[in-house]
Amino acid sequence: MDFSLTAEHELIRESAYEFGQREVLPGLAERDRGHVSDRSLLEKMGAAGILGVAIPAAYGGSGTDYISLGLVCEELERADTSARVVMSVHSGLHSLTILQWGTEEQKMRWLPKLASGEKVGAFALTEPDAGSDAVNIKARARRDGDSYVLNGEKTWISLADYADQFLVVAVTDLEASSKAAGLSAFIVDRKLPGFSSRPIKGKLGVRAGNTGQLFFDNVSVPVECRLGEEGDGFRVAMSALDHGRYTVASGSVGIVTACLDACVKYCHERKVGGEEIGRKQLVQQMIANMAAGRDMGRLLYYKVGWMKNVGLRHTREVSLAKWQNCNFAFQAAHDAVEIHGAYGYTDEFPVERYFRNSRGAMIYEGTREIHTLMQAEYELGYRLDRPLKHMLPEFRLED
Ligand code: CAA
Protein backbone atom coordinates (compact mmCIF):
# COMPACT_ATOMS: atom_id res chain seq x y z
CA MET A 1 0.00 0.00 0.00
CA ASP A 2 1.50 3.30 -1.13
CA PHE A 3 -0.02 6.55 0.16
CA SER A 4 2.50 8.89 -1.41
CA LEU A 5 1.69 11.45 -4.07
CA THR A 6 4.02 11.60 -7.05
CA ALA A 7 6.14 14.64 -7.91
CA GLU A 8 3.64 15.32 -10.73
CA HIS A 9 0.76 15.29 -8.22
CA GLU A 10 2.60 17.79 -6.03
CA LEU A 11 3.21 20.02 -9.04
CA ILE A 12 -0.47 19.86 -10.03
CA ARG A 13 -1.52 20.68 -6.45
CA GLU A 14 0.87 23.64 -6.37
CA SER A 15 -0.27 24.97 -9.77
CA ALA A 16 -3.95 24.69 -8.79
CA TYR A 17 -3.24 26.48 -5.51
CA GLU A 18 -1.43 29.28 -7.34
CA PHE A 19 -4.26 29.53 -9.88
CA GLY A 20 -6.70 29.99 -7.01
CA GLN A 21 -4.57 32.70 -5.44
CA ARG A 22 -3.91 34.50 -8.73
CA GLU A 23 -7.18 34.13 -10.65
CA VAL A 24 -9.97 33.27 -8.20
CA LEU A 25 -9.34 35.26 -5.04
CA PRO A 26 -8.79 38.82 -6.42
CA GLY A 27 -12.15 40.60 -6.31
CA LEU A 28 -13.91 37.49 -5.00
CA ALA A 29 -15.29 39.06 -1.82
CA GLU A 30 -17.03 41.76 -3.89
CA ARG A 31 -18.35 39.26 -6.44
CA ASP A 32 -19.62 37.02 -3.67
CA ARG A 33 -21.25 39.94 -1.88
CA GLY A 34 -22.90 41.12 -5.11
CA HIS A 35 -23.92 37.66 -6.40
CA VAL A 36 -21.78 38.23 -9.48
CA SER A 37 -20.21 35.32 -11.37
CA ASP A 38 -17.23 35.88 -13.62
CA ARG A 39 -17.51 34.12 -17.00
CA SER A 40 -13.87 34.90 -17.78
CA LEU A 41 -12.80 32.43 -15.08
CA LEU A 42 -13.81 29.61 -17.45
CA GLU A 43 -11.51 30.91 -20.18
CA LYS A 44 -8.68 31.26 -17.68
CA MET A 45 -9.21 27.71 -16.44
CA GLY A 46 -9.20 26.48 -20.04
CA ALA A 47 -6.01 28.38 -20.86
CA ALA A 48 -4.30 26.99 -17.74
CA GLY A 49 -5.13 23.42 -18.86
CA ILE A 50 -7.27 22.81 -15.80
CA LEU A 51 -10.40 21.80 -17.73
CA GLY A 52 -8.54 18.89 -19.37
CA VAL A 53 -7.35 17.26 -16.13
CA ALA A 54 -7.99 13.49 -16.04
CA ILE A 55 -8.93 13.42 -19.74
CA PRO A 56 -6.56 11.19 -21.77
CA ALA A 57 -4.13 12.95 -24.11
CA ALA A 58 -5.67 10.98 -26.99
CA TYR A 59 -8.79 13.12 -26.50
CA GLY A 60 -6.93 16.39 -26.05
CA GLY A 61 -6.67 16.23 -22.25
CA SER A 62 -3.71 16.53 -19.94
CA GLY A 63 -3.30 12.76 -19.64
CA THR A 64 -3.13 13.02 -15.86
CA ASP A 65 -4.79 10.54 -13.51
CA TYR A 66 -7.99 10.83 -11.51
CA ILE A 67 -6.20 11.67 -8.24
CA SER A 68 -4.95 14.80 -10.04
CA LEU A 69 -8.56 15.85 -10.57
CA GLY A 70 -9.20 15.53 -6.82
CA LEU A 71 -6.11 17.58 -6.02
CA VAL A 72 -7.19 20.34 -8.40
CA CYS A 73 -10.68 20.39 -6.83
CA GLU A 74 -9.23 20.57 -3.33
CA GLU A 75 -6.97 23.50 -4.17
CA LEU A 76 -9.60 25.38 -6.18
CA GLU A 77 -12.16 25.10 -3.40
CA ARG A 78 -9.52 26.31 -0.95
CA ALA A 79 -9.91 29.60 -2.89
CA ASP A 80 -13.66 29.46 -3.52
CA THR A 81 -16.36 26.87 -4.01
CA SER A 82 -17.50 28.56 -7.24
CA ALA A 83 -14.21 27.56 -8.95
CA ARG A 84 -14.49 23.94 -7.82
CA VAL A 85 -18.10 23.79 -8.99
CA VAL A 86 -16.83 24.45 -12.51
CA MET A 87 -14.71 21.29 -12.22
CA SER A 88 -17.64 19.34 -10.78
CA VAL A 89 -20.01 20.03 -13.62
CA HIS A 90 -17.62 20.47 -16.55
CA SER A 91 -15.03 17.78 -15.76
CA GLY A 92 -16.80 15.41 -13.37
CA LEU A 93 -20.43 15.28 -14.38
CA HIS A 94 -20.00 16.09 -18.08
CA SER A 95 -16.59 15.22 -19.57
CA LEU A 96 -15.82 12.07 -17.56
CA THR A 97 -19.31 10.77 -18.28
CA ILE A 98 -18.70 11.18 -22.00
CA LEU A 99 -15.37 9.39 -21.51
CA GLN A 100 -17.23 6.55 -19.77
CA TRP A 101 -20.32 6.25 -21.97
CA GLY A 102 -19.46 7.87 -25.31
CA THR A 103 -18.81 6.01 -28.55
CA GLU A 104 -15.36 6.60 -30.05
CA GLU A 105 -16.95 9.06 -32.46
CA GLN A 106 -18.67 10.96 -29.65
CA LYS A 107 -15.48 11.09 -27.58
CA MET A 108 -13.51 12.46 -30.55
CA ARG A 109 -16.27 14.94 -31.30
CA TRP A 110 -16.70 16.43 -27.82
CA LEU A 111 -13.76 15.73 -25.51
CA PRO A 112 -10.95 17.72 -27.20
CA LYS A 113 -13.03 20.91 -27.19
CA LEU A 114 -14.12 20.31 -23.59
CA ALA A 115 -10.56 19.58 -22.47
CA SER A 116 -9.23 22.80 -24.01
CA GLY A 117 -12.09 24.88 -22.64
CA GLU A 118 -13.27 25.83 -26.14
CA LYS A 119 -16.59 24.33 -25.01
CA VAL A 120 -17.97 24.20 -21.49
CA GLY A 121 -20.20 21.35 -20.37
CA ALA A 122 -22.75 20.99 -17.58
CA PHE A 123 -25.24 18.46 -16.16
CA ALA A 124 -29.02 18.61 -16.11
CA LEU A 125 -30.88 15.97 -14.13
CA THR A 126 -32.78 17.78 -11.33
CA GLU A 127 -36.27 19.18 -11.95
CA PRO A 128 -38.58 21.29 -9.80
CA ASP A 129 -40.39 18.13 -8.61
CA ALA A 130 -37.52 15.61 -8.79
CA GLY A 131 -34.30 16.11 -6.78
CA SER A 132 -33.34 13.14 -4.61
CA ASP A 133 -36.12 11.23 -6.36
CA ALA A 134 -34.22 11.47 -9.63
CA VAL A 135 -36.03 8.58 -11.29
CA ASN A 136 -39.26 10.60 -11.34
CA ILE A 137 -38.12 13.32 -13.73
CA LYS A 138 -40.70 14.53 -16.26
CA ALA A 139 -38.67 16.06 -19.13
CA ARG A 140 -39.73 14.17 -22.22
CA ALA A 141 -37.68 13.25 -25.31
CA ARG A 142 -39.93 11.83 -28.03
CA ARG A 143 -38.26 10.08 -30.96
CA ASP A 144 -39.07 11.69 -34.30
CA GLY A 145 -37.09 10.19 -37.20
CA ASP A 146 -33.39 10.98 -36.75
CA SER A 147 -34.03 13.27 -33.79
CA TYR A 148 -35.68 13.48 -30.39
CA VAL A 149 -38.07 16.29 -29.56
CA LEU A 150 -37.15 17.47 -26.07
CA ASN A 151 -39.58 19.30 -23.79
CA GLY A 152 -39.35 20.11 -20.11
CA GLU A 153 -37.57 22.05 -17.43
CA LYS A 154 -34.46 21.54 -15.28
CA THR A 155 -33.44 23.45 -12.20
CA TRP A 156 -30.47 24.03 -9.88
CA ILE A 157 -28.16 23.66 -12.85
CA SER A 158 -24.64 24.96 -12.24
CA LEU A 159 -23.30 27.00 -15.20
CA ALA A 160 -26.84 27.14 -16.66
CA ASP A 161 -26.14 30.48 -18.34
CA TYR A 162 -22.56 29.75 -19.39
CA ALA A 163 -22.25 26.15 -20.52
CA ASP A 164 -22.22 25.44 -24.26
CA GLN A 165 -23.71 21.96 -23.87
CA PHE A 166 -25.60 19.98 -21.25
CA LEU A 167 -25.88 16.32 -20.36
CA VAL A 168 -29.68 16.15 -20.11
CA VAL A 169 -31.66 13.19 -18.80
CA ALA A 170 -35.22 12.76 -20.08
CA VAL A 171 -37.99 10.19 -20.37
CA THR A 172 -37.99 8.35 -23.71
CA ASP A 173 -40.29 5.45 -22.87
CA LEU A 174 -43.40 5.94 -20.76
CA GLU A 175 -44.21 2.21 -20.95
CA ALA A 176 -40.80 0.87 -19.84
CA SER A 177 -40.58 -1.97 -17.28
CA SER A 178 -39.35 0.49 -14.65
CA LYS A 179 -39.10 4.27 -14.42
CA ALA A 180 -35.29 4.07 -14.59
CA ALA A 181 -35.46 1.94 -17.75
CA GLY A 182 -37.55 4.63 -19.43
CA LEU A 183 -34.85 7.30 -19.23
CA SER A 184 -32.18 8.30 -21.76
CA ALA A 185 -29.32 10.79 -21.74
CA PHE A 186 -28.44 13.39 -24.35
CA ILE A 187 -25.78 15.99 -25.01
CA VAL A 188 -27.80 19.10 -25.84
CA ASP A 189 -26.21 22.15 -27.45
CA ARG A 190 -27.47 25.44 -26.04
CA LYS A 191 -27.61 26.92 -29.57
CA LEU A 192 -30.45 24.59 -30.56
CA PRO A 193 -33.73 26.47 -31.19
CA GLY A 194 -36.15 26.17 -28.27
CA PHE A 195 -33.46 26.18 -25.57
CA SER A 196 -33.35 28.92 -22.94
CA SER A 197 -31.91 29.46 -19.46
CA ARG A 198 -32.56 31.74 -16.51
CA PRO A 199 -30.33 32.41 -13.47
CA ILE A 200 -31.45 31.58 -9.91
CA LYS A 201 -30.96 34.48 -7.51
CA GLY A 202 -30.83 34.71 -3.73
CA LYS A 203 -28.59 31.73 -2.89
CA LEU A 204 -27.20 31.36 0.62
CA GLY A 205 -23.75 30.40 -0.66
CA VAL A 206 -21.61 29.97 -3.80
CA ARG A 207 -22.75 33.44 -4.73
CA ALA A 208 -19.87 33.95 -7.16
CA GLY A 209 -21.07 30.91 -9.11
CA ASN A 210 -23.75 30.73 -11.78
CA THR A 211 -26.79 28.53 -11.10
CA GLY A 212 -30.02 28.50 -13.05
CA GLN A 213 -32.95 26.88 -14.73
CA LEU A 214 -33.10 25.36 -18.22
CA PHE A 215 -36.15 25.27 -20.48
CA PHE A 216 -36.60 23.00 -23.49
CA ASP A 217 -39.41 23.91 -25.85
CA ASN A 218 -39.58 21.39 -28.71
CA VAL A 219 -35.79 21.23 -28.94
CA SER A 220 -34.79 18.90 -31.76
CA VAL A 221 -31.82 16.80 -30.55
CA PRO A 222 -30.06 14.67 -33.21
CA VAL A 223 -30.02 10.95 -32.41
CA GLU A 224 -26.20 10.92 -32.54
CA CYS A 225 -26.25 13.15 -29.43
CA ARG A 226 -27.75 10.38 -27.31
CA LEU A 227 -25.21 9.12 -24.75
CA GLY A 228 -25.60 5.38 -24.23
CA GLU A 229 -28.53 3.37 -25.53
CA GLU A 230 -32.16 4.28 -25.09
CA GLY A 231 -33.03 3.28 -21.52
CA ASP A 232 -29.49 3.87 -20.20
CA GLY A 233 -30.28 7.40 -18.96
CA PHE A 234 -30.50 6.60 -15.25
CA ARG A 235 -27.27 4.60 -15.35
CA VAL A 236 -25.55 7.43 -17.22
CA ALA A 237 -26.81 9.94 -14.63
CA MET A 238 -25.68 7.79 -11.70
CA SER A 239 -22.25 7.29 -13.31
CA ALA A 240 -22.01 11.05 -13.74
CA LEU A 241 -22.77 11.44 -10.04
CA ASP A 242 -19.95 9.00 -9.19
CA HIS A 243 -17.62 11.54 -10.82
CA GLY A 244 -19.37 14.66 -9.54
CA ARG A 245 -19.42 13.38 -5.97
CA TYR A 246 -15.68 12.74 -6.19
CA THR A 247 -15.08 16.38 -7.05
CA VAL A 248 -17.34 17.52 -4.19
CA ALA A 249 -15.59 15.17 -1.73
CA SER A 250 -12.13 16.39 -2.72
CA GLY A 251 -13.23 20.02 -2.90
CA SER A 252 -14.66 19.85 0.61
CA VAL A 253 -11.18 19.13 1.94
CA GLY A 254 -10.18 22.49 0.43
CA ILE A 255 -12.74 24.23 2.63
CA VAL A 256 -11.25 22.53 5.70
CA THR A 257 -7.77 23.63 4.64
CA ALA A 258 -8.97 27.18 4.02
CA CYS A 259 -10.53 27.20 7.52
CA LEU A 260 -7.22 26.04 8.96
CA ASP A 261 -5.31 28.69 6.98
CA ALA A 262 -7.57 31.43 8.36
CA CYS A 263 -7.83 30.08 11.92
CA VAL A 264 -4.14 29.31 12.51
CA LYS A 265 -3.31 32.85 11.40
CA TYR A 266 -6.03 34.34 13.60
CA CYS A 267 -5.05 32.18 16.58
CA HIS A 268 -1.58 33.70 16.52
CA GLU A 269 -2.79 37.27 15.97
CA ARG A 270 -5.68 37.51 18.39
CA LYS A 271 -4.76 37.83 22.06
CA VAL A 272 -6.88 37.50 25.19
CA GLY A 273 -5.31 38.63 28.46
CA GLY A 274 -1.99 38.98 26.63
CA GLU A 275 -2.08 35.39 25.41
CA GLU A 276 -2.69 34.13 21.85
CA ILE A 277 -6.12 32.48 21.60
CA GLY A 278 -4.34 29.46 20.09
CA ARG A 279 -3.22 28.70 23.65
CA LYS A 280 -6.83 28.20 24.78
CA GLN A 281 -7.69 24.53 25.01
CA LEU A 282 -11.22 24.79 23.60
CA VAL A 283 -9.81 26.61 20.57
CA GLN A 284 -7.17 23.90 20.23
CA GLN A 285 -9.92 21.29 20.21
CA MET A 286 -11.52 22.97 17.17
CA ILE A 287 -8.14 23.24 15.41
CA ALA A 288 -7.44 19.57 16.12
CA ASN A 289 -10.84 18.57 14.70
CA MET A 290 -10.14 20.56 11.53
CA ALA A 291 -6.76 18.86 11.09
CA ALA A 292 -8.43 15.47 11.59
CA GLY A 293 -11.16 16.34 9.06
CA ARG A 294 -8.55 17.42 6.49
CA ASP A 295 -6.50 14.23 6.85
CA MET A 296 -9.44 11.81 7.04
CA GLY A 297 -11.08 13.59 4.13
CA ARG A 298 -7.94 13.18 2.03
CA LEU A 299 -7.74 9.48 2.81
CA LEU A 300 -11.36 9.02 1.74
CA TYR A 301 -10.99 10.81 -1.57
CA TYR A 302 -7.51 9.48 -2.38
CA LYS A 303 -8.98 5.99 -2.09
CA VAL A 304 -11.74 6.85 -4.56
CA GLY A 305 -9.17 8.41 -6.91
CA TRP A 306 -7.14 5.22 -6.73
CA MET A 307 -10.24 3.11 -7.46
CA LYS A 308 -10.94 5.26 -10.50
CA ASN A 309 -7.30 4.88 -11.59
CA VAL A 310 -7.45 1.08 -11.51
CA GLY A 311 -10.93 0.86 -13.02
CA LEU A 312 -12.93 -0.35 -10.03
CA ARG A 313 -16.56 0.60 -9.45
CA HIS A 314 -16.63 3.02 -6.51
CA THR A 315 -20.24 4.13 -6.04
CA ARG A 316 -20.23 3.06 -2.38
CA GLU A 317 -16.86 4.61 -1.58
CA VAL A 318 -17.56 7.91 -3.33
CA SER A 319 -20.91 8.24 -1.56
CA LEU A 320 -19.12 7.77 1.78
CA ALA A 321 -16.39 10.27 0.88
CA LYS A 322 -18.88 12.87 -0.33
CA TRP A 323 -21.08 12.49 2.74
CA GLN A 324 -18.30 12.58 5.31
CA ASN A 325 -16.15 15.24 3.66
CA CYS A 326 -19.10 17.61 3.38
CA ASN A 327 -19.70 17.09 7.11
CA PHE A 328 -16.01 17.78 7.86
CA ALA A 329 -16.15 20.99 5.80
CA PHE A 330 -19.34 22.24 7.44
CA GLN A 331 -18.06 21.50 10.95
CA ALA A 332 -14.72 23.16 10.18
CA ALA A 333 -16.44 26.26 8.79
CA HIS A 334 -18.80 26.40 11.77
CA ASP A 335 -15.84 26.22 14.17
CA ALA A 336 -13.87 28.74 12.11
CA VAL A 337 -16.67 31.26 12.65
CA GLU A 338 -16.60 30.39 16.36
CA ILE A 339 -12.85 30.96 16.61
CA HIS A 340 -13.15 34.35 14.89
CA GLY A 341 -15.94 35.39 17.29
CA ALA A 342 -17.92 38.43 16.19
CA TYR A 343 -15.40 39.03 13.37
CA GLY A 344 -16.32 35.63 11.99
CA TYR A 345 -19.89 36.81 11.65
CA THR A 346 -18.91 39.54 9.19
CA ASP A 347 -17.48 39.41 5.69
CA GLU A 348 -14.35 41.16 6.92
CA PHE A 349 -12.96 37.62 7.24
CA PRO A 350 -13.53 34.80 4.74
CA VAL A 351 -14.85 32.24 7.21
CA GLU A 352 -18.51 33.29 6.96
CA ARG A 353 -18.23 32.55 3.22
CA TYR A 354 -16.81 29.09 3.95
CA PHE A 355 -19.72 28.50 6.32
CA ARG A 356 -22.34 29.49 3.72
CA ASN A 357 -20.58 27.62 0.90
CA SER A 358 -20.14 24.41 2.86
CA ARG A 359 -23.88 24.16 3.56
CA GLY A 360 -24.83 23.77 -0.11
CA ALA A 361 -22.65 20.71 -0.65
CA MET A 362 -24.70 18.85 1.95
CA ILE A 363 -27.63 19.19 -0.44
CA TYR A 364 -26.33 18.94 -4.01
CA GLU A 365 -25.08 15.71 -5.63
CA GLY A 366 -27.02 13.65 -3.10
CA THR A 367 -28.23 15.06 0.20
CA ARG A 368 -26.59 13.80 3.35
CA GLU A 369 -29.81 11.87 4.02
CA ILE A 370 -29.51 10.06 0.67
CA HIS A 371 -25.87 9.15 1.40
CA THR A 372 -26.74 8.02 4.92
CA LEU A 373 -29.41 5.71 3.50
CA MET A 374 -27.09 4.42 0.77
CA GLN A 375 -24.38 3.57 3.33
CA ALA A 376 -26.88 1.76 5.54
CA GLU A 377 -28.27 -0.18 2.56
CA TYR A 378 -24.77 -1.30 1.52
CA GLU A 379 -24.01 -2.42 5.05
CA LEU A 380 -27.30 -4.29 5.38
CA GLY A 381 -26.86 -6.03 2.04
CA TYR A 382 -29.83 -4.26 0.39
CA ARG A 383 -27.53 -2.49 -2.08
CA LEU A 384 -24.69 -4.07 -4.04
CA ASP A 385 -22.35 -2.56 -6.66
CA ARG A 386 -21.91 -4.78 -9.68
CA PRO A 387 -19.54 -4.07 -12.61
CA LEU A 388 -21.23 -1.79 -15.14
CA LYS A 389 -21.63 -2.36 -18.85
CA HIS A 390 -19.56 0.80 -19.39
CA MET A 391 -16.87 1.38 -16.78
CA LEU A 392 -14.83 4.57 -16.58
CA PRO A 393 -11.58 3.66 -18.39
CA GLU A 394 -8.76 3.01 -15.96
CA PHE A 395 -5.86 5.46 -15.98
CA ARG A 396 -3.08 4.61 -18.42
CA LEU A 397 0.17 6.47 -18.72
CA GLU A 398 0.36 7.63 -22.33
CA ASP A 399 3.41 8.39 -24.47
N1 CAA B 1 -23.44 3.98 -12.06
C2 CAA B 1 -24.10 3.35 -13.05
N3 CAA B 1 -25.30 2.76 -12.90
C4 CAA B 1 -25.87 2.85 -11.68
C5 CAA B 1 -25.25 3.50 -10.60
C6 CAA B 1 -23.98 4.07 -10.82
N7 CAA B 1 -23.35 4.72 -9.86
N8 CAA B 1 -26.06 3.43 -9.54
C9 CAA B 1 -27.15 2.76 -9.92
N10 CAA B 1 -27.02 2.41 -11.22
C11 CAA B 1 -27.96 1.63 -12.01
C12 CAA B 1 -28.20 0.33 -11.30
O13 CAA B 1 -27.23 -0.64 -11.69
C14 CAA B 1 -29.58 -0.03 -11.80
O15 CAA B 1 -29.46 -0.58 -13.10
P16 CAA B 1 -29.97 -2.08 -13.40
O17 CAA B 1 -31.47 -1.94 -13.39
O18 CAA B 1 -29.39 -2.40 -14.72
O19 CAA B 1 -29.46 -2.93 -12.27
C20 CAA B 1 -30.27 1.32 -11.92
O21 CAA B 1 -29.23 2.28 -12.06
C22 CAA B 1 -31.11 1.65 -10.71
O23 CAA B 1 -30.23 1.67 -9.59
P24 CAA B 1 -30.72 1.69 -8.09
O25 CAA B 1 -31.73 0.61 -7.90
O26 CAA B 1 -29.51 1.74 -7.23
O27 CAA B 1 -31.48 3.07 -8.01
P28 CAA B 1 -32.25 3.64 -6.82
O29 CAA B 1 -33.62 3.94 -7.30
O30 CAA B 1 -32.11 2.77 -5.61
O31 CAA B 1 -31.47 5.00 -6.55
C32 CAA B 1 -30.92 6.88 -5.22
C33 CAA B 1 -31.90 5.78 -5.52
C34 CAA B 1 -29.57 6.32 -4.83
C35 CAA B 1 -31.51 7.66 -4.10
C36 CAA B 1 -30.72 7.77 -6.47
O37 CAA B 1 -31.97 8.18 -6.96
C38 CAA B 1 -29.90 9.01 -6.13
O39 CAA B 1 -28.67 8.92 -6.05
N40 CAA B 1 -30.58 10.14 -5.92
C41 CAA B 1 -29.88 11.41 -5.68
C42 CAA B 1 -29.77 12.15 -6.98
C43 CAA B 1 -28.78 13.26 -6.90
O44 CAA B 1 -27.69 13.11 -6.36
N45 CAA B 1 -29.16 14.40 -7.48
C46 CAA B 1 -28.27 15.53 -7.55
C47 CAA B 1 -28.24 16.02 -8.98
S48 CAA B 1 -26.87 16.98 -9.50
C49 CAA B 1 -26.95 18.46 -8.72
O50 CAA B 1 -27.00 18.44 -7.54
C51 CAA B 1 -26.98 19.77 -9.46
C52 CAA B 1 -25.79 20.18 -10.27
O53 CAA B 1 -25.88 20.98 -11.19
C54 CAA B 1 -24.46 19.69 -9.96
Over its length of 399 residues, how does the chain's per-residue pLDDT go in tens digits?
A: 889 999 999 999 999 999 999 999 999 999 999 999 999 999 999 999 999 999 999 999 999 999 999 999 999 999 999 999 999 999 999 999 999 999 999 999 999 999 999 999 999 999 999 999 999 999 999 999 999 999 999 999 999 999 999 999 999 999 999 999 999 999 999 999 999 999 999 999 999 999 999 999 999 999 999 999 999 999 999 999 999 999 999 999 999 999 999 999 999 999 999 999 999 999 999 999 999 999 999 999 999 999 999 999 999 999 999 999 999 999 999 999 999 999 999 999 999 999 999 999 999 999 999 999 999 999 999 999 998 999 999 998 875
Number of domains in the chain: 3
Q: Which atom of ligand 1 is nearest to the CA of 134?
A: 37
On whether both 372 and 316 belong to a single domain, the answer is yes
- Ligand 1 binding pocket (C-beta < 6 A) is 88-89, 123, 125-126, 132, 134-135, 156-158, 180, 234-235, 238-239, 241-242, 244, 315, 364-366, 370, 374, 388
Closest Cα to atom 46 of ligand 1: 365
On whether both 90 and 133 belong to a single domain, the answer is no
Residue that terminates a domain, selected from 52, 84, 119: 119
What is the distance between the alpha carbons of residues 85 and 25, in angstroms, rounded to a whole number? 15
Ligand 1 centroid – CA 281 distance (Å): 44
Ligand 1 centroid – CA 172 distance (Å): 17
390 assigned to some structural domain: no
74 assigned to some structural domain: yes
Q: Which atom of ligand 1 is nearest to the CA of 85?
A: 54
Residue 138 falls in which region: left (phi positive, over 0), alpha (psi -120 to 50) or beta: alpha
On whether both 265 and 357 belong to a single domain, the answer is yes
pLDDT at 399: 58
Residue that terminates a domain, selected from 172, 200, 233: 233
What are phi and psi for residue 219, nearest 5 degrees? -80, 125
170 assigned to some structural domain: yes
145 assigned to some structural domain: yes
On whether both 144 and 243 belong to a single domain, the answer is no
262 assigned to some structural domain: yes
What domain range is 290 assigned to?
Answer: 235-380
On whether both 296 and 245 belong to a single domain, the answer is yes
Closest Cα to atom 8 of ligand 1: 238
On whether both 97 and 223 belong to a single domain, the answer is no
pLDDT at 1: 85
Ligand 1 centroid – CA 238 distance (Å): 4
- Helix and strand numbers, DSSP H then E, in the chain: 12, 10
Taking the whole predicted model, whether its pTM rises above 0.95 is answered as: yes
On whether both 252 and 372 belong to a single domain, the answer is yes
Residue that terminates a domain, selected from 59, 86, 119: 119
| 3-state SS assignment for residue 231 | coil
337 assigned to some structural domain: yes
Query: Exposed e or buried b for every residue in 361-383, given b needs 16+ CB within 10 A?
Result: bbbbbbebebbebbbeebeeeee
What are phi and psi for residue 241, nearest 5 degrees? -70, -30
Ligand 1 centroid – CA 242 distance (Å): 9
In this structure, what CATH number is given to the domain that contains residue 20?
1.10.540.10
72 assigned to some structural domain: yes
β-bridge partners, 199: 212
pLDDT at 398: 74
On whether both 63 and 130 belong to a single domain, the answer is no
In this structure, what CATH number is given to the domain that contains residue 337?
1.20.140.10
Q: Is 365 one of the catalytic residues?
A: yes
In this structure, what CATH number is given to the domain that contains residue 148?
2.40.110.10
**In the chain, what is the greatest distance between 2 CA atoms, to the nearest angstrom?**
78
On whether both 167 and 286 belong to a single domain, the answer is no
Ligand 1 centroid – CA 375 distance (Å): 14
On whether both 310 and 351 belong to a single domain, the answer is yes
Ligand 1 centroid – CA 262 distance (Å): 37
On whether both 244 and 368 belong to a single domain, the answer is yes
396 assigned to some structural domain: no
Q: What is the DSSP string of 138-185?
A: --EEEEETTEEEEEEEEEEEETTTT-SEEEEEEE--TTSSSTGGGEEE
Pocket test for ligand 1, best of 235, 246, 374 (most atoms within 8 A of CB): 235
> Of residues 365, 369, 379, 398, which has the active-site annotation?
365
Contact assessment for residue 225 and residue 162, using Cβ atoms and an 8 Å cutoff:
no
On whether both 202 and 267 belong to a single domain, the answer is no
Pocket test for ligand 1, best of 96, 238, 390 (most atoms within 8 A of CB): 238
